[in-house]
């Protein structure tokens, strides 16, 4: 009995270890493929992290791979990404991004996306301006259009909308500052009108002007009663103007910095998009060249065996043909080692192609 229990325990431990190693290998394989921009692998990896399958559950990592797969055109990943932006799963809630992905899916024929759009507008009271909608449509156009000229127009429109949004935000900030300035009432004193002779333009006011006015009324001793009040009023006006000027200077400096950062961001974003497009073109050319090389190798191998690439027989017939040719190319039968190596290489290429089918 003990013997059977030991055997059972050994088998259970072995099975558990094998499953653990298998899970780890599966995640490592998916990660390697995902890093090579395989959309299906990126989506599967995101699902594993989202559900905690074969690895520890991690919503943030799942969001990252959903995002990568969505950018590569994976429809299910685009839907999951839109949900993540809508519900704040692995990222902060961003209804504009959610609308952008749901809209793109709806345009591409997804049956659930229009319902999600309608529900989103109904439930959340989304306050979205014309510029925000223009940004969404330009971004969709830039990501989906294959024509280079139209794609460039979409990108130019996208950056144009971003600039208008920035200018609108800047105008609102300046307006709020002006309103705040208007709420600051100039300090006035209860001085008789004929004795209150302050200049309309406080910037031109000077101590010399004030002394001249005092000299005019030097014969009237009552002016010295109001002199301290006049000085306080003047100093208060100068202080208010200095505060306003300082606030305007700080605001203008901040706006200039924001505009500069916005321009830098726009330039870098455009450069990144250009580099990405170039990399995609190079990758497609590399794949095309790689596939062409493989096809050429298969054509040569089929020619050695007397087959055509479009009409390769099953494995049994291939091996039978190999035995027949071996009698011809073998070094013991008027052949050579070089010809035999070429025959073996052709056999591996053809069998590999049959196994792939």
Q: For 135-151, how does the pLDDT look when each residue is reduced to its tens digit (9 = 90+)? A: 776 777 676 666 777 76
pLDDT at 77 (0 to 100): 94
Task: Reply yes or no on whether the pLDDT at 236 is more than 70.
Answer: yes
Q: What is the pLDDT of residue 286?
A: 63
Report, as an integer, the average pLDDT of 183-204: 46
Residue 285 confidence class, pLDDT cut points 50, 70, 90: low
| Residues above pLDDT 70, as percent of the chain | 67
What pLDDT is recorded for position 76? Answer: 94
**Residue 138 pLDDT:** 72
pLDDT at residue number 41? 93
Q: What pLDDT does 32 receive? A: 87
The pLDDT tens digits for 56-100 are 899 999 999 999 999 989 999 999 999 999 899 999 998 888 888
pLDDT tops 80 at residue 211: no
pTM of the model: 0.39
More confident residue, 50 or 130: 50
Instruction: Decide yes or no: CATH 1.25.40.10 for domain 24-128.
Output: yes
Report the pLDDT value the prediction gives residue 268, as an integer from 0 to 100. 77
Secondary structure string (H, E, C) spanning the chain? CHHHHHHHHHHHHHHHHHHHHHHHHHHHHHHHHHHCCCHHHHHHHHHHHHHCCCCCCCHHHHHHHHHHHHHCCCHHHHHHHHHHHHHCCCCCCCHHHHHHHHHHHHHCCCCCHHHHHHHHHHHHCCCCCHHHHHHHHHHHHHHHCCCHHHHHHHHHHHHHHHHHHHHHHHHHHHHHHHHHHHCCCCCCCCCCCCCCCCCCCHHHCCHHHHHHHHHHCCCCCCHHHHHHHHHHHHHHHHHHHHHHHHHHHHHHHHHHHHHHHHHHHHHHHHHHHHHHHHHHHHHHHHHHHHHHHHHHHHHHHHHHHCCECCECCCHHHHHHHHHHHHHHHCHHHCCCHHHHHHHHHHHHHHHHHHHHC
Domain with CATH 1.10.287 in the chain: 286-355
Residues carrying CATH 1.25.40.10, the chain: 24-128
**Mean model confidence pLDDT for the chain:** 74
Q: What is the pLDDT of residue 293?
A: 58
- Domain 286-355: give its CATH code: 1.10.287
Q: Which has the minimum average pLDDT: 4-18, 28-42, 223-237, 311-325?
A: 4-18
């Amino acid at each position: 009995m003990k013997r059977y229990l030991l055997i059972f325990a050994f088998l259970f431990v072995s099975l558990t270890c094998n499953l653990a190693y298998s899970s780890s290998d599966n995640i490592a394989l998916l990660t390697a493929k995902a890093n090579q921009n395989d959309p299906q692998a990126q989506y599967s990896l995101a699902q594993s992290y989202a559900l905690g399958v074969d690895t520890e559950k991690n919503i943030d990592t799942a969001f990252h791979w959903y995002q990568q797969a969505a950018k590569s055109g994976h429809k299910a990943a685009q839907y999951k990404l839109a949900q993540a932006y809508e519900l704040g799963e692995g990222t902060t809630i961003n209804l504009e991004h959610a609308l952008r992905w749901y809209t793109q899916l709806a345009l591409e024929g997804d049956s659930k996306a229009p319902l999600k759009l309608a529900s989103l507008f109904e439930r959340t009271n989304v306050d979205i301006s014309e510029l925000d909608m223009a940004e969404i449509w330009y971004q969709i156009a830039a990501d989906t259009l294959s024509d280079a000229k139209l794609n460039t127009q979409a990108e130019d429109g996208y950056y144009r909308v971003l600039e208008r949004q920035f200018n609108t935000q800047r105008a609102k900030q300046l307006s709020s500052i002006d309103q705040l300035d208007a709420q600051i009432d100039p300090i006035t004193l209860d001085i008789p009108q004929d004795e209150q002779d302050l200049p309309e333009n406080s910037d031109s006011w000077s101590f010399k002007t004030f002394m001249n006015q005092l000299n005019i009324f030097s014969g009237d001793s009552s002016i010295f009663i109001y002199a301290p009040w006049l000085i306080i009023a003047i100093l208060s006006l100068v202080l208010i103007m200095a505060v306003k000027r300082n606030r305007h200077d700080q605001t203008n400096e901040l706006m200039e910095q924001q505009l500069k950062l916005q321009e830098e961001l726009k330039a870098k974003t455009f450069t990144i998009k250009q580099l990405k497009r170039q990399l995609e073109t190079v990758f497609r050319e590399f794949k095309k060249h790689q596939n062409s090389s493989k096809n050429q190798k298969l054509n040569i191998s089929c020619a050695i065996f007397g087959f055509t690439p479009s009409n390769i027989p099953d494995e049994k017939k291939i091996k039978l043909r190999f035995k027949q040719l071996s009698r011809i190319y073998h070094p013991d039968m008027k052949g050579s080692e070089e010809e035999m190596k070429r025959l073996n290489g052709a056999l591996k290429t053809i069998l590999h192609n049959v196994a792939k089918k």
